[in-house]
Amino acid sequence: MTIEEKIKQLRKELDLHNYKYYVMDSPEISDFDFDMKLKELQELEEKNPEFSDPSSPTQRVGGAITKNFETVSHDFPMQSLSNSYSKEELEEWEARVKKMVDGKLEYVCELKYDGASISLTYENGKLTRAVTRGDGVQGDDVTNNIRTIRTIPLNLIGDFPDKFGIRGEIVLPFEGFLKMNEERVEIGEEPFSNPRNTASGSLKMQDSAEVAKRPLDCLLYGLVGNQLALKSHYDGLQKAKEWGFKVPNEAKLVHSIDEVLEFINYWDIHRHNLPYETDGVVVKVNNLHQQDELGSTAKSPRWAIAYKFKAERETSILRKITYQVGRTGAITPVANLDPVQLAGTIVKRASLHNADQIQKLDIREGDTVFVEKGGEIIPKIIGVDFTQRDPNSQETVYITECPECGTELVRAEGEAHHYCPNYNGCLPQIVGRIQHYISRKAMDIEGLGGETVTLLVNAGLIHNYADLYTLKKEDVLPLERMAEKSADNLILGIEKSKEIPFERVLFALGIRYVGETVAKKLAKHYKSIQNLMQASIEDLINVDEIGQRIAQSVTEYFDSEENINTIDRLKEFGLQLEISAEKLANQTELLQGNTFVISGVFSKVSRTDLKKLIEDNGGKVSSSISAKTNYLVAGENMGPSKLAKAEKLGTKILSEDAFLGMLN
């Protein structure tokens, strides 16, 4: 088997396994085996770039940067749907349809998913273009970002047409949305407001590698094109499934408006069990010939209509506004409500977000308020029923002191939240920071959970995360639900955390805005906590991808004498506060400040090894040549366009030997 044949075989296998896993939910191989095959394909492609293909499964990770999204015209307009809200309006629509077409009518009912509309184009079975809805006539080309979504096939299977389009909705499942927000809150960022806006915003991110990290999904609902050899819309959905698309199984073929209403009534109740946001049902005439006859108005197709579910909104009495303190000191006002059932759950509390939101809506204790579930998940107050307001009600005055420690609150210019500055003396901040420190992505201390941290703090056994390393078995045994075995595991877990590498320790410290990725960058650049502590704001801003906000937060953290004392204690206890000698032995600053692009086939080291050599020696690797590129490392069979661009921009071109010579 030739290398080209092997590459094609691996691509075909991986496409099939990807389809089985993400679309059919019936994997046939383990994640490990899939990763091994993907790794093998990556290595073959890197060594043989002449066989590169944008539709390869290896391209799912993204990496392409799009500064400006090209506006392109849709081959077929993406029209909006007319809305209906009652049985009568649906019956009126059907009467209009019957006047315009002959023959028996069938309908396809589909759930109306609340996401970002997308139009995909396939040629010869390959995804060639993905365009947002835009104004319906033209939209933005977001192909690079769409390629990262694993439920969108890059290569089709079966008897597909030579060229066609397919429409769908990019959605963010509730589970993924909640996980993303947990991670944002963990690093002191504002959570996203709802899945729909987050999905839509993801499509316009400039770095496709960042899009790849988001758990986006794509649900397809309609084929478009000429000469598709189909008689009905429902047949098209079944064909799309055969070709590898994720078409929702909830779509149903029905034969009357009564059956349409049965579908609507069923899903109005059961939609809350779905993993995605839905806001209605789309009803379509099934016969494609009848669709053509019906045609469209200037805005909407006559052969389809949307039935919108009644808004999940209820009223309740706001009894009291209380205030919560997060681990970063951010104050969140909370509305405590009379219990009300909303979207299948009992709601007693709703976030009021910040002082501006309270002022904007003029929310007061005792008000009758309208409550909705934002994104079907997060309860929020959307307004006040002023007709029910007590004429003696008092305007809400936002607190000026921390509800936990009494410290005067601060609000920096441009910040939405008020903050408690009592960093080392405010109990919820102390508990929250230690809970973050022990979390799975940080120190991952086995045997120690959030509730136990609270017990330890309340018992006076610990006051910061350094105190964890002073605990003894006899200290923790008296704690509630703490058995002999649990105490042993806790102490062992704390001891084992001393082996956690520097970048994770840095993340665990809980410095505001320093998440996992930023912690890795800072650890790699500064090599030790000592070097980082001495860095100025100007120094930090010069580190790749570190901005003013992060730099200021880092310096403020190390300006605190108490934080310095905590760091000193962690050193004494033997934690990893610098990059290990083994890692350092392979790292230099020889290439510091230089950006490299690698292109072609290399004989002495692989592309992967070249990239590692650059990064280990302080350089940065980019996928495309720009004015910021310092060197192009050129191998055999390098793409002529990259060479031409490098020459045009005056980028220095290095052979493999010349690059290795730079490193001696």
Catalytic site residues? 112
Across 578-626, the runs of DSSP E, i.e. the strands, are: 595-599, 620-622
Neighbours of 70 (CB within 10 A): 11
The full DSSP string for 111-124 is EEE-SEEEEEEEET
3-class SS string, 203-227: HCCCEHHHHHCCCCEEEEEEEECCC
Task: Classify residue 358 by its DSSP letter.
Answer: H
Q: Where do the H-state alpha helices sit in 101-190? A: 143-146, 174-186
Residue 344 region by backbone torsions, left for phi larger than 0, else alpha for psi between -120 and 50, else beta:
left
Type and span of the H or E element at 653: strand 652-654
The rounded distance, in Å, linking the Cα atoms of 53 and 12 is 13
Joined together, the tokens standing for residue 97 give 């349809």
Residues 508/464, Cβ–Cβ less than 8 Å: no
Neighbours of 172 (CB within 10 A): 29
Residues 656/633, Cβ–Cβ less than 8 Å: yes
The rounded distance, in Å, linking the Cα atoms of 588 and 585 is 8
Residue 135 dihedral angles phi and psi, to the nearest 5°: -95, 10
Joined together, the tokens standing for residue 88 give 């009568």
Joined together, the tokens standing for residue 277 give 């946001």
In a 13 Å sphere around the CA of 342, the CA atoms on its Cβ side amount to: 26
Joined together, the tokens standing for residue 325 give 């303190």
The rounded distance, in Å, linking the Cα atoms of 565 and 572 is 11
Neighbours of 499 (CB within 10 A): 9
The rounded distance, in Å, linking the Cα atoms of 88 and 134 is 32
Residues 645/625, Cβ–Cβ less than 8 Å: yes
Residues 298/144, Cβ–Cβ less than 8 Å: no
If you count them, how many residues does the chain have?
Answer: 664
The rounded distance, in Å, linking the Cα atoms of 87 and 268 is 14
Output the CA–CA distances (angstroms, integers) from residue 207 to 61, 133, 467, 623, in the order listed. Answer: 11, 20, 41, 11
Q: How many Å separate Cα 112 from the centre of its chain?
A: 22
Joined together, the tokens standing for residue 3 give 């290398």
The rounded distance, in Å, linking the Cα atoms of 621 and 591 is 11
Q: State the sign of the Cα–Cα–Cα–Cα dihedral 439, 441, 445, 447.
A: positive
Cα of first residue to Cα of last residue in the chain, in angstroms, is: 38
Nearest to 221 by CA among 341, 120, 362, 347: 120
Q: Kindly give the interhelix angle for 561-572 and 548-559, rounded to the nearest 10 degrees.
A: 80
Q: How many Å separate Cα 79 from the centre of its chain?
A: 28
